[in-house]
Amino acid sequence: MPSSTIHQTRTYRDLVWLASFTALVLALVSYLDAGDVLARVLHRSEQSHVDEFALVSLSLVVGLAGLSLRGWKELEHELQVRCRAERETAESEQRYRQLVELSPDSHVVYLDGAITYVNPAAVRLFGALQAEQLVGKSLLEFIHPDCRPDFLGQVASNINGKTTPFRENRLVRIDGEVAEVEIFGSPTAHRGSNRAVQITLRDIRERKQSEVAQERARQAQKLEMLGTLAGGIAHDFNNLLSLMMINVEGASLLVEDEEARAYLKDTEDAVERASKITRKLLAFSRRQEPDRRPIDLDDTVQDIMRFLTRILGAATQVKLESGLAGGQIFGDSGQIEQVIMNLAINARDAMPNGGVITLRTQRVDDQAQLSISDTGVGMSPEVCARIFEAFFTTKGMGKGTGLGLSMVSGIVQQHGGNITVTSEVGVGTTFTLAFPLCDEPATAVLSGS
């Protein structure tokens, strides 16, 4: 081979290696695609008549460089995606933590029977000063004993992957106070475990107090309407009684037969008793103030005993245990009789097969107490809680209006007293009335008024 040809080939070969090195550098610097670089070099090689060995070498170098570049680009892209995902996850966790920390609801994470996290609202709800007083303890010890079975069932459902809706519960705070709450539970992952439970507790004490206030307002409105109705009826009925009394008195003057006069006297007594009833209705409607004066509670109870034995029937035995020893209260004897009569009739109705009613008076500190007990069917705690509500009754249709005990409660309160009820299903019921004692002589009180 001529020397000029050999020299020319080496020159071309050097040019090819120089071009390959240049292409690699350019690709690294500008992140060009390796295939594009190879195409450019090959185009120049064809124009310069590069031999086959140079082309193979060039292809190998550029191909390896292209593979490295593609790997680097993929790695860089993957790192960018991971960094972005980690940043977004961290931001999401931060937002969630802020929501939980600032939430007015109490949040507790419960794992393997122990509290592992509480937010500030939970610290306040439990009556603690700091989270460390709660973390590590069992949440069950803060649940009221009556509510623990339901709570354990709720947590078991959460551990099994179920979300349980809000349920009313009672929480026993560190200071011993019982707080009414609603509890919501959901499964969550915590510390590498999928058996953790996130419990949300909502304080409903204010809502309960508001509901009680609203119910009292409704009852007051009912009583006001009832008082207006009773006052109108009593006024009209009292006018009729006045005419009847005038006629009875006139007939008594004209009749000489003793038997007829006795019948008229019974009629007059009945009209007088009916007149007392109208006065009670007027007092209930606040159109007439009760006729209050010092009265002996023992004497009042004994006076009505003779009526009770006839009204209640032979199947009902009535007992009296007097223990006041002359204690007086400042009240209306007619209204006190009405209270006793109403409670005694209710006691009889609670003993369909007969039984014993016991009236007991006693002095307790500066109060005169009257209790009326029966051996009847008794009442549940739920019924006892509503027994004094207007229009609430446990009797069947047409057998009760639901107004008797409401009026009894109103009369007792008008006398400055209070009434309580205790009952046990299957054992009986006891109503206890307490009135402030009045130790002043009757003459002094009346003269002073």
Question: Residue 131 belongs to a domain with what CATH number?
Answer: 3.30.450.20
Shared domain check, 355 and 254: no
320 — phi, psi (to 5°)? -125, 130
CB burial readout 343-374, b (16+ within 10 A) else e:
bbbbbbbbbeeebebbbbbeeeeebbbbbbbb
Cα distances from 338 to residues 58, 279, 325, 363, in angstroms, run 120, 12, 22, 22
Please report which confidence band the pLDDT of residue 40 belongs to, taking 50, 70 and 90 as the band edges: low
Please report which confidence band the pLDDT of residue 82 belongs to, taking 50, 70 and 90 as the band edges: confident
**Lowest-pLDDT range, 121-130, 279-288, 302-311?**
279-288
pLDDT computed for residue 24 by the predictor: 53
The pLDDT of 241-250, averaged and rounded, is 84
pLDDT computed for residue 377 by the predictor: 92
The pLDDT of 416-432, averaged and rounded, is 93
Shared domain check, 185 and 276: no
The mean pLDDT of the chain is 78
Shared domain check, 441 and 309: yes
Decide if 184 contacts 200 (C-beta within 8 A). Answer: yes
pLDDT computed for residue 357 by the predictor: 94
pLDDT computed for residue 4 by the predictor: 46
Boundary (domain end) residue, out of 172, 203, 234: 203
Shared domain check, 33 and 53: yes
Shared domain check, 234 and 140: no
Q: Is residue 267 over pLDDT 70?
A: yes
Q: Give the separation between CA 234 and CA 277, rounded to whole angstroms.
A: 8
Handedness of CA 229, 231, 232, 238 (dihedral sign): positive
Q: Which residue has the higher pLDDT, 197 or 392?
A: 197
Shared domain check, 369 and 276: no
**Lowest-pLDDT range, 66-70, 155-159, 182-186, 265-269?**
66-70
The pLDDT of 411-435, averaged and rounded, is 92
Boundary (domain end) residue, out of 48, 72, 98: 98
Question: For residue 233, with 0-12 CB atoms within 10 Å meaning exposed, 13-18 middle and 19 or more buried, which class applies?
Answer: middle
pLDDT computed for residue 443 by the predictor: 40
Q: Which residue has the higher pLDDT, 42 or 191?
A: 191
Q: Which residue has the higher pLDDT, 411 or 357?
A: 357
Shared domain check, 421 and 312: yes
Q: Residue 215: which CATH number?
A: 1.10.287
Tokens of 424: 């046990």
Q: Residue 332: which CATH number?
A: 3.30.565.10
The tally of domains found in the chain comes to 4
Partner residues linked to 296 by β-bridges: 328
Q: Is residue 63 over pLDDT 80?
A: no
pLDDT computed for residue 125 by the predictor: 93
pLDDT computed for residue 348 by the predictor: 92
Q: Is residue 181 over pLDDT 90?
A: yes
pLDDT computed for residue 126 by the predictor: 93
**Lowest-pLDDT range, 14-18, 65-69, 355-359?**
65-69
Q: Which residue has the higher pLDDT, 274 or 155?
A: 155
Shared domain check, 297 and 264: no
pLDDT computed for residue 418 by the predictor: 93
pLDDT computed for residue 7 by the predictor: 45
User: Which residues, at least 6 apart from 74, have a Cβ–Cβ distance to it below 8 Å?
Assistant: none
Q: Which residue has the higher pLDDT, 444 or 58?
A: 58
Boundary (domain end) residue, out of 260, 284, 308: 284
The pLDDT of 161-182, averaged and rounded, is 91
How do 193-203 and 178-190 pair as beta strands? antiparallel
pLDDT computed for residue 386 by the predictor: 86
Please report which confidence band the pLDDT of residue 286 belongs to, taking 50, 70 and 90 as the band edges: low
pLDDT computed for residue 100 by the predictor: 76
Shared domain check, 88 and 111: no
- Over residues 374-408, the pLDDT tens digits come to 999 999 998 888 888 877 777 665 555 566 788 88
Domain that residue 267 falls in: 208-284
Please state the pTM of the whole predicted model.
0.45
**Strand residues in 213-315 grouped as ranges (E):** 293-296
- The rounded percent of the chain whose pLDDT value lies above 70 is 75
Q: Is residue 46 over pLDDT 60?
A: no
**Lowest-pLDDT range, 157-166, 289-298, 354-363, 412-421?**
289-298
Shared domain check, 411 and 313: yes
The pLDDT of 269-296, averaged and rounded, is 72
pLDDT computed for residue 244 by the predictor: 86
How do 106-111 and 328-331 pair as beta strands? unpaired
pLDDT computed for residue 438 by the predictor: 83
Q: Which residue has the higher pLDDT, 202 or 311?
A: 202
Shared domain check, 217 and 195: no
Shared domain check, 53 and 71: yes
Q: Is residue 45 over pLDDT 80?
A: no
- The rounded percent of the chain whose pLDDT value lies above 90 is 26
* Cα–Cα nearest to 427, from 346, 373, 386: 373
Residue that is written with structure tokens 């959901």 in the block: 186
Question: For residue 416, with 0-12 CB atoms within 10 Å meaning exposed, 13-18 middle and 19 or more buried, which class applies?
Answer: middle
CB burial readout 194-213, b (16+ within 10 A) else e:
eebbbbbbbbbeeeeeeeee
